[in-house]
Structure 1
Amino acid sequence: MKKLILSALAASVLVVSCKNTTEKAAKDLENAMDKVEKKAEQATNEVKKTAENLVDDAKKAVSSVEVPKFKSPEVQKFADEYSNYYKEVSEAVKSGSAEKVQQLQTKATEWATKSQEYLSKMTAEDAKTWSEWVTKLTQNQ
């Protein structure tokens, strides 16, 4: 009888101690998960802020490159249009809109052809100004 009572007592002690250990482990796990969630949220917010700052900096860089003045009014008009197109491309890339980028890439061939046509019509001075300006645009992207 003593053995039976001692066995039952030992079994009940094990059950109670296992239950306490399981509850403690569950609480510890929950606390750890809360900490991980908070850290992940902080990291996500920091990444968002950094990305927003980069987009703002890129927009400022592209818009800071002013369209130079060309002698030919026709070339000047084309340069203004090209600048607008380039800003649109830059914004589409920064926003991550794949559809918009795809649409603008199809227009890139047209713009390259137009650029070659206008380059052949430009004076040597305008051609030099154009090349320098386009280089600045691409460097600031």
Structure 2
Amino acid sequence: MSDPLERTEAEWQVLLTDEQYRVCRQGGTEPPFSSAYHDDHSPGLYRCVCCRAPLFHSEHKFDSGSGWPSYWQPVDSAAVTEHTDQSLGMHRTEVRCANCAAHLGHVFPDGPPPTGRRFCINGVCLEREENAPAPSA
């Protein structure tokens, strides 16, 4: 990936809806089961709503029962960055878009094989490109 995309807060506020801005740029969380993508199993590529960078593919999506779209891996290990998050009195690993630093959600060590990881992602941070082929490994 290239250098992270930088915009001013005013530019982000114009480009995003209020909810997208709150979650992606301010580190918020959408309510569980509120995203159209939490139980959507349509084929496609999920891109960052802020910069359109490819993040996750439907072939890596699974139903975690958590209420948020969940994936066992990103499309590429360089697509996302991971950061320590100690907010809310918990130790978690935050996931951000590597291209624009948008907050996407968190990753947990309780996912299915082959990775054992659960990328628990806010659906408001994503837009699906239907029927996009899975990236080659």
Of Structure 1 and Structure 2, which has the larger fraction of its residues in strand? Answer: 2
Tell me which protein shows more helix as a share of its residues. Answer: 1
TM-score (norm 2): 0.22
TM-score when normalising by structure 1? 0.21
Q: Which structure has the bigger radius of gyration?
A: 1
